[in-house]
Amino acid sequence: MNNSYSETENNSLPLDIKDIPVLRYPDFFDQVTLLLKNPANHCVNYYAAATTGAVKYFCCIADDIDKKIRILAHESDNNEQILMSLTPECPSMHIFEREIFENFGVEFRDHPWLKPVRYPQNRPDRSRVMDNYPFYEIESEELHEVGVGPVHAGVIEPGHFRFICNGEKVLHLEIQLGYQHRGIERLFQDLNSSLQRCILSESIAGDSSVAHGLAHSQLIESLAGPDVGETLQIERCIGLELERIAVHIGDTAALCGDVAYQLGQVTCEALRTVVINTMQFWCGNRFGKGLIRPGGTNYPLNDTIAEEILKNLDNIGRRFDRITSMIYSLPSVLARFEDIGTVTKQQALSTGAVGMTARTCGVLRDIRSTHPFQYYKYYPVSPAILDAGDVLARGKIRSLEVRESIRIVHDLIDQWRRTNREIGKPVYDYNLRPDSYAVSLIEGWRGEICHSAATDASGKIMHYKVKDPSLHNWMALALAVRDQEISDFPVCNKSFNLSYCGNDL
């Protein structure tokens, strides 16, 4: 069976696309289910892409033990419109199959919930619109439906949430997204300028611009083949950790805001501002836009900036420790967080939850340690794991990760001081290796980000695929609010803090 897939590693050389064996669907099906039966494996991306006259399916399965990424492929002509669904065997594949259904109209037999993820302009079935989508319904005199959104009262992105409630209790939540679809993947393919593609990657999800920017640059470097220097790798990791610190502190503020704990909210908001201002001091943008570019950077770290980062982080670390120990020991806050919105380990595994959400349910999903990239290859990270799976766990893991990230940045800056500090300018005219396929995995603050691309014979990007961690985790949110009070939904939602635009692309 060894010739049924190709093996690669994260942040390494690309594969020759011709080397990836193309399986018949039954073999593909068997092989994928066989691989996913192994608990060390999880699917990082499964999608279909149009090639000349056919549709090609790629499934990337990451092995957390031997750090390999296995790539399986299947090709079908356009007539093949009905396939056996993988979802009954491996529930975490449901969202990928829904996306393939959305893009190519492929019917997956036995899929329990074949609903398009979004409604793009170029969808195969134009009669299918958001307005006539049949939401899940339960017929009963006692139950009532509450629809929230797509336009919300707060400054948040659009999304529609349909609750079925029995009084105050939520029986079922259906989440309808797709209002933010911008055609990101198609744009990657169509844009000719490498710089434009970089900027586009930073706009996939505004709160993860460093992570998505890095995933893109890493993919381009992988396809072009150069090895970036140690100094640049360290600086990228520092950028990534700063983003994690800033967002985690901001989320803690928002969690306090949702339960009307004013002191926690305003303190954390103030601390977050210091972190993003440090980022601005470094690269001129508070969200780190422009920091990550392929091959080099416009904003190399220097001693002044390194000192500023260390000074601010020490200050923030101390103050954040103090406020979080207050927040998580205040009875009125604990009453709102504890045992609210619990996701079980089983649910986390079957929804394919990634990142923080998985780590609060006792599932180790951290690309930094399982498929290390950039400087994490030489700097092992030990991720925090909690097992309660409730809002409190998702709050606490943020404070643990902030503390850990501050320590990592300290160590990385120490390492950086020992390097030769040779950093080039960004390279925008790489010649990508023709007929190649590459995968790039990054652990953003929200979870694993996967970018993958294939080039054609002339080295032009043939297809580009982005997967944001939110894609999996929205389902975990829908499960978490079952049997909870509807008034606890906002705080559950905030504890996941998922991306709407990352999901909608």
Partner 1 sequence: MAGFFLILITAFFFPGIILRIKSLASGRRGPGVFQPVKDIRVLLRKGSVFSNTTGLIFQIAPAIGLAGILCAALVIPFADQKAIISFQGDFVFFSYLLALGKFFSIISALDTGSSFEGMGANREALFSMLAEPAFFVLLATFAMLTGFTSFSDIFNHFYFSGNHYVLIYSIIGVYLFIQIAMIENSRLPVDDPKTHLELTMIHEVMILDNSGFDKALIHIGSYLKFAIYGALLYNVIVPSGWSIFLQASLFLAVQLIFAVIIGFAESFRARNKMNKNPKFILTLTVIALIAFMIILILTEKFI
- Binding to partner 1 in span 245-274, by CB under 8 A: 256, 258-263, 265-266, 270
Query: Residue 79 or residue 262: which is nearer to partner 1 going by CB?
Result: 262
The yes or no reply on residue 53 touching partner 1 (CB under 8 A) is no
The yes or no reply on residue 47 touching partner 1 (CB under 8 A) is no
Query: Helices 391-418 and 303-327 sit at what angle, rounded to 10 degrees?
Result: 160
The yes or no reply on residue 336 touching partner 1 (CB under 8 A) is yes
Query: Residue 173 or residue 219: which is nearer to partner 1 going by CB?
Result: 173
Query: Residue 82 or residue 153: which is nearer to partner 1 going by CB?
Result: 153
The yes or no reply on residue 171 touching partner 1 (CB under 8 A) is no
* Per-residue b or e along 243-269, where b marks 16 or more CB atoms closer than 10 Å to that residue's CB: bbbbbbbbbbbbbbbbbebeebbebbb
Taking the C-alpha atoms of residue 310 and residue 300, their distance in angstroms, rounded to an integer, is 16
The yes or no reply on residue 485 touching partner 1 (CB under 8 A) is yes
Report whether the peptide linkage leading into residue 112 is cis, meaning its omega lies within 30 degrees of zero.
no
Q: Which amino acid is at 460?
A: K
- DSSP letter for 208, please: G
The yes or no reply on residue 147 touching partner 1 (CB under 8 A) is yes
466-to-44, 45, 189, 376, 439 alpha-carbon distances in Å: 11, 9, 12, 22, 10
Task: Give SS3 for 90.
Answer: coil
Closest CB 492 distance from partner 1, rounded Å:
10
106-to-100, 415, 496 alpha-carbon distances in Å: 7, 50, 31
Residues 312-331: x where in contact with partner 1 by CB under 8 A, - otherwise, as a string: ------------------x-
Interface residue with partner 1 among 29, 437, 464, 489 (CB under 8 A) is 489
Six token digits for residue 207: 């709160």
Considering only the stretches 36-44, 97-105, 217-225, 334-342, report the one whose residues sit in contact with partner 1 under the rule CB under 8 A. Answer: 334-342
The yes or no reply on residue 148 touching partner 1 (CB under 8 A) is yes
Q: What is the CA radius of gyration of the chain?
A: 22
Task: Give SS3 for 178.
Answer: coil
Taking the C-alpha atoms of residue 64 and residue 57, their distance in angstroms, rounded to an integer, is 23
Closest CB 288 distance from partner 1, rounded Å:
27
Query: Residue 40 or residue 260: which is nearer to partner 1 going by CB?
Result: 260
Closest CB 493 distance from partner 1, rounded Å:
9
The yes or no reply on residue 134 touching partner 1 (CB under 8 A) is no
Closest CB 489 distance from partner 1, rounded Å:
5
Considering only the stretches 63-71, 146-154, 377-385, 396-404, report the one whose residues sit in contact with partner 1 under the rule CB under 8 A. Answer: 146-154
What count of other Cβ atoms lies within 10 Å of the Cβ of residue 280? 13
Chain contacts with partner 1 (rule: CB under 8 A): 144-148, 153-154, 168, 256, 258-263, 265-266, 270, 330, 332-333, 335-336, 340, 485-491
